[in-house]
Amino acid sequence: MMREIKDTTTTRNPLRQNETYLLELLERRWSPRSFSDEEIPQEIIVEIFDAGRSMMSCFNEQPWRVIFASKADSHYNKLFDCLGEFNQQWVKTAPCVGVVLGKKHFTKKDKLNRHRFYDAGAFMAASTLRATSLDLYVHQMAGFSPEKVTENLQVPEEFEPITMFVIGKKADPEQLPEKLQKQEHKKSDRNEVDEFLFGDPWGVPYTSSSKQAQSEK
């Protein structure tokens, strides 16, 4: 049974307002390819990633690292060159580019941190929502060369490139190649909760298995 949502426009419950705002951000979050070349101020970039640093991580390792460049920075081309050709054709209009890396081992003990990808993902999720709240968009990419990142930016062996990204304001899709324009208008499908939230046995939706267990008591 779904929880009843009460109207709080008159009571102004701050907790409810925050919850509603978060849901709005999640709905607004989108990964476009049509970006404006308008530069993002440095203080805004810092503010975006400051939101990410508050996220949880295994043993509070905070394994994420970010290399960032605006088009005005001398190392911009070093990062842009790491992207695959498909991504380069639309990233070129964005005002910046960056890469997220993960520290392979825990700092306090020489043990492989297999949670580094999960933690870096949480970091980027929070950073992305902060960008969304500022009417900016983030598009993360798997289509890049980790080897080029390591070589071009002289990344220590201990750090592994995970994803590249751009941040910026959305522009008219007509600036994109025709094939990409069509994708820009295509709605992204999302799995229903029952397709990934299981009980026991595997693959049985939690909502079904939970009801079954209760009926057998």
Tell me the pTM.
0.85
Tens digits of residue pLDDT in 66-99: 999 999 999 999 999 999 999 999 999 999 999 9
Any domain includes 190: no
User: How much is the pLDDT for 177?
Assistant: 83
192 falls within a domain: no
Domain annotation covers residue 89: yes
Query: 109 lies in a domain?
Result: yes
Using CA of residue 76, residue 77, residue 82, residue 88, what is the dihedral sign? Answer: positive
How far apart (Å, rounded) are the C-alpha atoms in residues 34 and 54? 30
How far is residue 131's CA from residue 129's CA, in Å, rounded to a whole number?
5
| Residue-number span of the structural domain to which 124 is assigned | 29-181
User: 177 in a domain, yes or no?
Assistant: yes
CA distance 101 to 158: 10
CATH number at residue 83: 3.40.109.10
pLDDT for 3 equals: 39
Q: Nearest CA to 51 among 157, 128, 106, 162?
A: 128
The number of folded domains in the chain is: 1
Q: State which residues of the chain have pLDDT below 70.
A: 1-17, 210-217
- What local confidence, expressed as pLDDT, does residue 194 receive? 95
Q: Is residue 61 part of a domain?
A: yes
What's residue 20's pLDDT?
Answer: 84
